[in-house]
A and B are shown apart, each in its own frame.
Chain A
Amino acid sequence: MPDRGGQPQRAASGVLSPEAVRLGCKATDKWDVVRQAGALLVEIGAVSPEYAEAMLERERSISTYVGEGVAIPHGTDDSRRYVTRTALGFLQLPDGVDWDGNDVRVAVAIASSGDEHVAVLSALAQILMEPEQAERLRTTTDVEDVLALLADISTEED
């Protein structure tokens, strides 16, 4: 990791930082993906480990698959107190993982302490509704591609 002297490299997006983008990940099943997604949010300092636990609980209550080969693992309402800052984590799974009968290639982990994830989810959904953009997120081998595609996601209303 290059030293950025504490200056955020990509202040425009805010919620997705380069170190939160992981391409070419491997996972045994969807629970493994949710665990990796939770560990990633812990690692980037967005949440404490309790939140990662709650992500598994949340996934058990109802699937977070949204379409276009993308799932959005996140915690329960009750676990929001374990969120330090609103952030996204991006895990790409080129081999695909079975997610309740859907083939998931991308997991976007979401940490949100308030209601700003409504805007985050709305922006993400609008990006994924463009099939070419969704395809690039599933297949790119360049972190910059992911950052550019998801650059419009912020906690502000569009």
Chain B
Amino acid sequence: MAVREVTIGSRVGLHARPAALFVQAATAAGVPVKISKGDKGPVDARSMLGVLGLGARNGDSVTLEVEGETADAVLDSLVALLEQDLDEPAAADA
């Protein structure tokens, strides 16, 4: 299992659309991904409810845990996604 910490870059936080984009990406990874924020979680990163439940805001630090042989590559892309401002309309094309 590979673990990495990342700071939420979206200007508001991991709310509706940024959370949906992240859940889509985590689901597409095809391996188990978990996300936690402080003592909340870890929750399945493929669950919209789980991710929304964390209530992660801009500047909050979250921890990603990924299983499998592709863990490092999956982490690279998910970390890059979370560091982006997904509230920026241009990022919606991601």
Chain A positions within 8 Å of B, measured between CB atoms, are 58, 61-68, 72, 74, 77, 110, 115, 117-119, 121-126, 128-129, 157-158
Contacts and interface: CB of A to CB of B under 8 A. Distances in A.
A66 B52 contact: yes
B49 A125 contact: yes
Given A115-B12, A118-B13, A121-B15, A63 B20 contact: yes
Contacts of A157: 55
A77 B87 contact: yes
A125 B16 contact: no
Interface string B47-61: 111111111111000
A125 B53 contact: yes
Contacts of B19: 121
A34 B89 CA distance: 21
30 contacts: A61-B17, A62-B20, A62-B21, A62-B92, A63-B20, A64-B20, A65-B48, A66-B48, A66-B52, A67-B47, A67-B48, A68-B49, A74-B16, A115-B12, A115-B13, A115-B57, A115-B58, A118-B13, A118-B55, A122-B52, A122-B54, A122-B55, A123-B55, A124-B52, A125-B50, A128-B49, A129-B49, A129-B50, A129-B53, A158-B55
B92 A61 contact: yes
Interface of B: 12-17, 19-21, 47-58, 87, 89, 92
Given A115-B58, A125-B49, A125-B51, 16 more contacts: A61-B92, A62-B17, A67-B48, A68-B49, A74-B16, A77-B87, A115-B13, A115-B57, A117-B15, A118-B57, A119-B55, A122-B55, A125-B48, A125-B50, A125-B52, A129-B53
Contacts of B12: 77, 115, 118
A122 B53 contact: yes
Contacts of B20: 62-64
